[in-house]
């Protein structure tokens, strides 16, 4: 399944159950974010005659780094960019970064933002253009947020606030298509919430057409994402624990 964003030349390749690999490209080169698998990426790049400039790794989970080994066999000059704290768990990194580092990718400036919580060293990649965009990995999803596996709720809440404070026209590219089930959970908590109902309708329509429901706009997400709307750490913690036990 492919989604295509004309303005920013970012396409999504849906793989495994619900992962989305993002490919950001210009006429000659591409940057791939969290390649769960290599094959669909290799095919796309070859068919479109694109050089792989870099692989961005938001965190170490295998459904984010699984394709990297094969990709760098095909494109040995590709930069593999990952957190300097993850030299052991993200094995092929050759450019190690930390919070607030600035990178030049596809002739654009990209900022590293550390967003701890899902893992102890999760990072995101932010490009502040006219329409800013953010590759957020597993920290925030449409209508949801990532599970807190290694960090604390406090760290995750801080990460969510950091995202919330970005420009409201930021387009957010997350790594999983979880929107529908997140909305069903939110509607269990707030059954009368009209914004959630409207969003669920839109999402069901897109899914029935085999389209991705992501990326999402921060401004619109502020209306429907209970985690982004949480007023304090206690509320955030309640929501995250509630979601963890929701089936």
> In sequence order, what are the beta bridge partners of 123?
114
CB of 204 to Zn ion, least distance (A): 26
User: Closest CB to Zn ion among 61 and 243?
Assistant: 61
- CB 71 within 8 Å of CB 52: yes
Annotated catalytic residue within 34, 88, 101, 118: 118
CB of 86 to Zn ion, least distance (A): 12
Annotated catalytic residue within 34, 60, 64, 122: 64
CB of 109 to Zn ion, least distance (A): 26
59 is catalytic: yes
Annotated catalytic residue within 34, 60, 122, 176: 176
User: Closest CB to Zn ion among 29 and 68?
Assistant: 68
**End-to-end distance of the chain based on CA atoms, in angstroms?**
26
Q: Please provide the DSSP assignment of 230-243 as one string.
A: --SHHHHHHHHHHH
138 is catalytic: yes
Spatial separation of the C-alpha atoms in residues 19 and 99, rounded to whole Å? 25
Residues of the chain by 3-state class (helix, strand, coil), percent to 5: 35, 30, 40
Annotated catalytic residue within 34, 59, 60, 122: 59
Residue 173 phi, psi (nearest 5) = -105, 105
3-state DSSP call for residue 171? strand
Interface residues with Zn ion (CB under 5 A)?
61, 138
User: Closest CB to Zn ion among 75 and 227?
Assistant: 227
User: Closest CB to Zn ion among 138 and 177?
Assistant: 138
Residue 182 phi, psi (nearest 5) = -60, -40
64 is catalytic: yes
CB of 19 to Zn ion, least distance (A): 10
176 is catalytic: yes
Catalytic residue numbers read 59, 61, 63-64, 118, 138, 176
């Amino acid at each position: 399944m492919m989604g295509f964003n004309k303005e920013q030349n970012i396409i999504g390749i849906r793989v495994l159950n619900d992962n989305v690999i993002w490919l950001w490209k210009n006429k000659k080169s591409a940057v791939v974010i969290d390649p769960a698998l290599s094959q669909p990426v290799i095919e796309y790049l070859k068919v479109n005659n694109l050089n792989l400039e870099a692989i961005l790794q938001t965190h170490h989970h295998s459904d984010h780094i699984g394709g990297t080994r094969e990709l760098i066999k095909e494109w040995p000059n590709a930069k593999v960019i990952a957190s300097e704290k993850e030299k052991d768990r993200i094995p092929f990194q050759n450019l190690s970064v930390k919070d607030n580092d600035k990178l030049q990718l596809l002739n654009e400036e990209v900022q590293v933002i550390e967003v701890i919580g899902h893992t102890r060293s999760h990072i995101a990649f932010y490009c502040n253009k006219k329409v800013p965009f953010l590759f957020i990995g597993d920290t925030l999803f449409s209508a949801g947020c990532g599970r807190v596996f290694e960090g604390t709720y406090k760290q995750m809440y801080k990460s969510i606030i950091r995202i919330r404070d970005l420009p409201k026209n930021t387009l957010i590219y997350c790594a999983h298509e979880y929107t529908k089930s997140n909305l069903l959970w939110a509607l269990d908590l707030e059954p009368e919430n009209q914004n959630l109902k409207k969003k669920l309708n839109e999402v069901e329509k897109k899914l029935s057409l085999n389209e991705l429901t992501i990326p999402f706009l921060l401004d619109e997400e502020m209306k429907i994402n209970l985690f982004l709307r949480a007023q304090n750490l206690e509320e955030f913690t309640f929501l995250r624990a509630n979601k963890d036990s929701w089936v």
